[in-house]
Structure 1
Amino acid sequence: MSSSLAESVDQLDDWYLDRFDVDAYLARIRHPRVGPGVEALHSLHRAHVLAIPFENVDVVLGAHRGLAPETITDKLLLRHRGGYCYEHALLFAAAAERLGFRVRRIISRVQPHRSGPRTHMALLLGIDGEETRYLADVGFGAGMIAPMRLRDGDIVDQAGWPHRLTVRDGIWTLAKHTEDGWEPQHAFDESPARPVDYEVAHHYVSTHPASPFTGRLVVMRLSDGLSRRLIDDTLTVEHADGRIERTPVPLERLDATLRDLDVVLNASELAELRVHLGGQPELWSR
């Protein structure tokens, strides 16, 4: 797709920016208002990842209310909840655009070296007057804490785990360095996605039995040198130096563990989630 055509497609879609409260967003991530710049982009990206958890509670409970701007704002900004990639990326994109960054919303193929689907939402950001663009990926679980220059071979330490961007035949691949070498995370081209693309992908990810998010609880947090993952009833804490700790989470510790991960559920949500994880309804419905 030519650059001019791509830009015109970007401008066709209504991302509801006039209904976005950037001040409420900045308050949620505890960040001052800034203008567009490289330092500001890094600071905003980091603040978002540290403040808002990755979690799929609503998907597990079959209660996800969709991707409408008001729904995402209510959930992530007002109710101290997190979300998964679409919610994170749509929120960050709106904030970045309102603060003066150029934003392109894209859709990426997860685990491209296997049979992964094209369902992940990420962002390409630019700054007026600069040619360099950046991959912003605030919603890929416990993945990136900083944006990455869209430059072949660029390697960035992401909270202790090196990540690399490479390009071949117009397809960019984000890879993470593991003990087995560079493991692809997702791959994308630079074509702009549209709201309907995310609605379709969200429907699959939130309802299809083959989706990794419909059958199990997933909560992820990333901070410097530390990755925490709650998968159903097991909390895994991974350190950048290679140490891994796994702790069972009994149902009576579920609320406290979720709160430690900055996920705050109301009594009804918590009771339903406990039932999903194997509890008896009569024990948790009071």
Structure 2
Amino acid sequence: MNELNALFRKRIHLPGSETITFEVLDNVLARTAKAIPFENLRIIENKTSVISKPYLVNKILVNNEGGLCYEINPMFYLFLIDNGFDAVLTRGVVYNNDTESYLTFGRTHVTILLTHKGQTYLIDTGFGGNLPLKPVPLSGETITSSNGQFRVQRSNGELGDYVLEMKLKHKDTDWKIGYTFDSRKPVTDLSECNAVQKIIVEHTESSFNKHPLITKLTDGGNLTLTNTSFTHWDHGIVTKEKIDRVRYKELLKEHFGI
């Protein structure tokens, strides 16, 4: 077992002796969502680096940080490849449900497509609190997890040929669009993630270069921390606390280990 494989298993508390099959990916995805937070702290602290395999291993598996989609999903993709899966990365465009329109500053979402027994599935470990926690087939079939319902529908849009839709548990009563992606345009080199990072870091409309955001899933829901608030969803009950800088640092360490 190579270093990446061993360190990833350690990070998500997965036994080194366990064989990773398609049937146990649900468990692996759930463990990943609870162990690795979705966060933008290096952007806020102006400490971003060039995306590469060694960088991702050091940041996420050695330093025990989290990351955004262009870091967490490539990390999970590398883990899948190491365990014998047929997977590729691809880029998508996130949908803003408030304005009912797709973001206009580029294909800034990086996600994973996995092929198993002739069927292609979407896998996402880097979409904040909107994680399916299971492989989602590109057949339109609805899958249900502890985080809600998810499906991937065909699309004729110019931005992609498929759309991820979701109905989050305790939050959504109707289907919402997550993002569109193009299954025909795989990311051929990990270095392409640097183009995504550049947009996220520099663009004025990016929501990730304004203030710190850290979130991760829990057994009962999810935790979200910013520099001004701490929100806890637990089995449909939400509590929100206004915080100062001292409390922010306390919560960052207590709940996210950062």
Which bin holds the TM-score, normalised by the shorter protein?
A: 0.7 to 0.9
Q: Bigger shift: 114-123 or 166-175? A: 166-175
Contact 1:221–1:261, Cα closer than 8 Å, also in 2: no
> In the alignment, residue 99 of structure 1 is paired with which amino acid?
N
TM-score, normalised via structure 2 length = 0.86
Shift of 1:208: 2.0
Shift of 1:20: 5.7
1:56 to 17, 40, 60: 40
Aligned to 1:220: 215
Contact 1:144–1:158, Cα closer than 8 Å, also in 2: no
Is 1:193 the counterpart of 2:187? The answer is yes
Distance 1:68 1:151, change over 3 A: closer
2:165 to 149, 156, 175: 175
Cα distance in 1, alignment partners of residues 257 and 70 from structure 2 = 17
Matched residue SS, 1:143: coil
Q: Bigger shift: 145-154 or 51-60? A: 145-154
Aligned to 1:80: 64
Aligned to 1:14: none
Cα distance in 2, alignment partners of residues 118 and 19 from structure 1 = 32
Is 1:252 the counterpart of 2:241? The answer is no
Aligned to 2:152: 165
Matched residue SS, 1:125: strand
Structure holding more strand per residue: 2
Q: What pairs with 1:100-249 in structure 2 (closer than 5 Å)? A: 100-111=84-95, 113-116=100-103, 117-127=106-116, 130-169=117-156, 171-177=161-167, 178-179=171-172, 181-190=174-183, 191-194=185-188, 195-241=190-236, 243-249=237-243
> In the alignment, residue 211 of structure 1 is paired with which amino acid?
S
Cα distance in 2, alignment partners of residues 87 and 173 from structure 1 = 21
Contact 1:53–1:263, Cα closer than 8 Å, also in 2: no
Distance 1:133 1:20, change over 3 A: farther
Aligned to 1:69: 53
Cα distance in 1, alignment partners of residues 151 and 136 from structure 2 = 10
Cα distance in 2, alignment partners of residues 124 and 225 from structure 1 = 27
Q: Bigger shift: 97-106 or 202-211? A: 202-211
Deviations 1:152-194 (A, max 9, x none): 3322234232222211337211122254621111111212113
Matched residue SS, 1:118: coil
Contact 2:211–2:227, Cα closer than 8 Å, also in 1: yes
Q: What pairs with 1:1-12 in structure 2 (closer than 5 Å)? A: none
Cα distance in 2, alignment partners of residues 225 and 86 from structure 1 = 26
Structure holding more helix per residue: 1
Q: How many residues align?
A: 244
Cα distance in 2, alignment partners of residues 41 and 58 from structure 1 = 29
TM-score, normalised via structure 1 length = 0.78
Q: Bigger shift: 110-119 or 245-254? A: 110-119
Deviations 1:74-108 (A, max 9, x none): 11111121111111011111111011001111101
Matched residue SS, 2:179: strand
Matched residue SS, 1:21: helix
Distance 1:153 1:21, change over 3 A: closer
Deviations 1:123-159 (A, max 9, x none): 01123xx112221100111121522332333222342
5+ residue gaps, structure 1, are: 1-17, 265-286
Matched residue SS, 2:210: coil
Shift of 1:240: 4.7
Matched residue SS, 2:256: coil
Larger radius of gyration: 1
Shift of 1:197: 3.0
Aligned to 2:82: 98
Contact 1:145–1:222, Cα closer than 8 Å, also in 2: no
Contact 1:154–1:165, Cα closer than 8 Å, also in 2: yes
Matched residue SS, 1:62: coil
> In the alignment, residue 228 of structure 1 is paired with which amino acid?
L
2:12 to 8, 19, 29: 29
Deviations 1:230-259 (A, max 9, x none): 133111223453x32211122121222112
